[in-house]
Amino acid sequence: MGRLDGKAAIITGAASGIGRATAVRFAGEGAAIVIADLNAEGGEASVRDCKENGGRAVFQKTNVALEEEIKAMVARAVKEFGRLDIIYNNAGIGGAVGPLEQITVEDWDRSQAVLLRGVFLGIKHSVPEMRKAGGGSIISTASIAGIRGFNGLHAYCAAKAGVVNLTRSASLEFAKDRIRVNCICPGGINTPILHRNMPGVKEAMEQWMAHGQPIQRAGHPEDIANMALFLASDDSEWVTGQAMVVDGGLTVGSQFLDQTAGGERPQTGIVPQGFMGPSFEK
Amino acid sequence: MGKLDGKVAVITGAASGIGRASAIRFAGEGAAVVIADLNSEGGEAAVRDCKEHGGRAVFQKTDVASEPEVKGLVDRAVKEFGRLDVIFNNAGLGGAVGTIEEITGDNWDRTLAILLKSVFLGMKYSVPEMRKLGGGSIISTASVAGLAGGRGPHAYSAAKAAVVNLTRSVALEVGKDRIRVNCICPGGINTPLIYNRLPGGRQVGEQFLAQLQAIPRAGHAEDIAAMALFLASDDSEWVTGQAMVVDGGLTAGGRLFGQDQQQRPTIPGGFAGPSFEKN
């Protein structure tokens, strides 16, 4: 018996990366899925992947920044599967990057439209359908860049922080309808948004990213898909308004003085083992 | 196929409440479980519950504030089941209650020993066994009272905040060993720890706790058990150092002006011991 048997889900950005891995995971747990993406070729491939994992799936070409297209996407889910239980607002881009003074207003607006307005629209248009179903689960991809600053990612950081706090405020409004609203903050995940499907780059990224956090391997789309499954399933029935961090420990802290996060302790001898007494003791 | 097939778990405070619900859930997913508690009667009942759910389980009477007993607990898991994959440091109590001036030094120390030193000891003695296996999952019960003031008694709040940050610092140290360290911050869960001390008991607890947070029902031990299962399973292989909040939206925010008036039952002051003790 699957953990999502009988449920219908929409996943945006599901033609690749986190969205695709999540679609495959959801399908394996019995969900019917609308694969939404701008990328039709990848989207159709995801549909095939879902079917191979025993689920039902359809592709809906969608620009998440456009209200009409989000409305059509929700309508498609209801038309195909008769209901909507889960929406995973996942589609994303890097957006405007680089020094703040060089960011054009047009690039700023495009970034916010995809990363933040896309989530707002997904929530807005899925809530009425979930109310009819007597409850539901709204999940969005935020980022550790929504809870920390990262130099050169200004528009992305601002938008993702917006997603985190929109998650909280929306969770308060829809709790009485048994609609839960949560987001996931991935750390460094080796997806096509980074490696661009360029030959050899995925493998090189895998090695480089392994050293970015205490757990010494790169993050994979499946790590996020697992959390999305928890949030989509009834196991998280009393979880709402949360930003779930899945980052291999990246944002947990940094080791002080002569300890290196996740690595061997260099023998500098600055911090002794044992017990550090008051400063006046030798 | 269970999500914890072949894994061995120690759960402290497993004679009742969150610990017992987690033991049952883990057992149903194929884990062998060591039920640790001071309460032998409840512990043996939890063992029977686990067996009914198809799992293996043994009871080990344990005072989690005692170093030899925590060491004995880990040894028992290895002796019975040959390995240790998961420890859930869950045992707790309300501890010292009252204003800061009323709390005695002794009650402060007892509270911190049970709520904080116990977690340190659980980590200290389980890490070597997990290293032998090439990884493991350490889970502790913290609280929403560990994230902000006003959600619990002073000593409890301080101890739970310490559990949250001990979780983070240890996560950094043992990440390279593929040992993950996370905690759970429950909101208002209707367990014996709470309803045994409420006039009116479980039913009043259910009504009172339903009003506290955005989702209009009390939290149940099973809500925390579901998160503990996620953290214990390989599904959370890349999750470490986290304080997972399961609170029905309590800490997501609130109204800007004018909180809803709630009918708060009076909770007696003094020292709130373990849930199996009667006042």
pLDDT value at residue A193: 83
pLDDT level of residue A139 (50, 70, 90 thresholds)? very high
Q: What is the pLDDT of residue B95?
A: 94
Of A20, A18, A24, A46, the closest CA to residue A221 belongs to A18
Q: What is the structure's pLDDT at B276?
A: 81
Domain count, chain A: 1
Token pair 């600053």: residue: A149
Tell me, what's the pLDDT at B271?
A: 83
* Predicted local confidence at residue A259, as pLDDT: 47
pLDDT value of position A262: 47
| A270 domain-assigned | no
Tell me the nearest-neighbour CA distance from B258 into chain A, angstroms: 15
To the nearest whole percent, how much of chain A has pLDDT over 90? 84
Which domains does chain B show, CATH number per domain?
8-246 (3.40.50.720)
All residues of chain A having their beta carbon less than 8 Å from the beta carbon of residue B252 are: 167-169, 171-172, 240-242
Look at residue B262 in the predicted model and tell me its pLDDT: 54
B241 touching A, CB under 8 A? yes
Q: Identify the bridge partners of residue A139 per DSSP, sorted by sequence position.
A: A88, A182
Q: What is the pLDDT of residues A178-187, one digit of tens each?
A: 999 999 999 9
Q: In this predicted model, which residue has the larger pLDDT, A117 or B258?
A: A117
The verdict on whether A156 is a catalytic residue reads yes
Residue A266 included in any domain:
no
By Cβ distance, the residue of B216, B217, B252 closest to A171 is B252
Q: Which domain holds residue A105?
A: 8-246
The CATH number linked to A112 is 3.40.50.720
Q: Following DSSP, what letter does each residue of chain B receive, concatenated? A: --TTTT-EEEEETTTSHHHHHHHHHHHHTT-EEEEEES-HHHHHHHHHHHHHTT-EEEEEE--TT-HHHHHHHHHHHHHHHS---EEEE-----EEES-TTT--HHHHHHHHIIIIIHHHHHHHHHHHHHHHHT-EEEEEE--GGGTSTTSS-HHHHHHHHHHHHHHHHHHHHHGGGTEEEEEEEE-SB--HHHHTTSTTHHHHHHHHHHTSSSSSS-B-HHHHHHHHHHHHSGGGTT--S-EEEESTTGGG---SS-PPP--PPP---EEE--TTS--
Residues from chain B contacting residue A255 (CB–CB below 8 Å): 172
Residues A108/A166, Cβ–Cβ less than 8 Å: no
Residue A218, pLDDT > 60, answer yes
Catalytic member of B26, B81, B125, B156: B156
For A233, name the nearest residue in chain B, comparing CA atoms only.
B226
In a domain, A51, yes or no: yes
Q: Which residue of A has its CA nearest to B256?
A: A169
A212 lies in some domain: yes
Residue ranges of chain B with per-residue pLDDT less than 50: 261
For residue A249, what are its two tokens?
Answer: 């420990």
Residues in CB range of A127: below 8 A, 6 or more apart: A136, A138, A174, A177, A179
Q: Which two tokens stand for residue A164?
A: 């985190």
Candidates A247, A153, A252; CA nearest to A209 is A247
In a domain, A195, yes or no: yes
Per the prediction, chain A carries an average pLDDT of 93
DSSP-derived letter for residue A189 is B
- A273: in domain: no
Distances (CA, A) of B196 to A189, B93, B102: 46, 12, 23
- Chain B positions touching A180 (Cβ under 8 A) are 215
Q: Is A268 among the domain residues?
A: no
Measured CA to CA in angstroms, residue B138 lies from A130, A224, B242 at distances of: 36, 20, 11
Q: What is the pLDDT of residues B88-139, one digit of tens each?
A: 999 999 999 999 999 999 999 999 999 999 999 999 999 999 999 999 999 9
Mean pLDDT of A255-269: 52
Contacts of A169 in chain B (CB under 8 A): 252-253
Asked whether residue A145 is assigned to any structural domain, the reply reads yes
| Of the listed ranges A73-82, A209-218, A263-272, the one predicted with least confidence | A263-272
Contact between residue B8 and residue B84 where contact means Cβ atoms under 8 Å apart: yes
Nearest to B253 among A169, A178, A213 (CB): A169
Report pLDDT for A127: 98
Q: Is the pLDDT of residue A264 over 80?
A: no
Residue A22 has pLDDT above 50, yes or no: yes
Which is the catalytic residue, given A26, A59, A156, A174? A156
pLDDT band of A258, cuts 50, 70, 90: very low
Look up the ipTM and state it.
Answer: 0.88
- pLDDT digit string, tens, across residues A68-96: 999 999 999 999 999 999 999 999 999 99
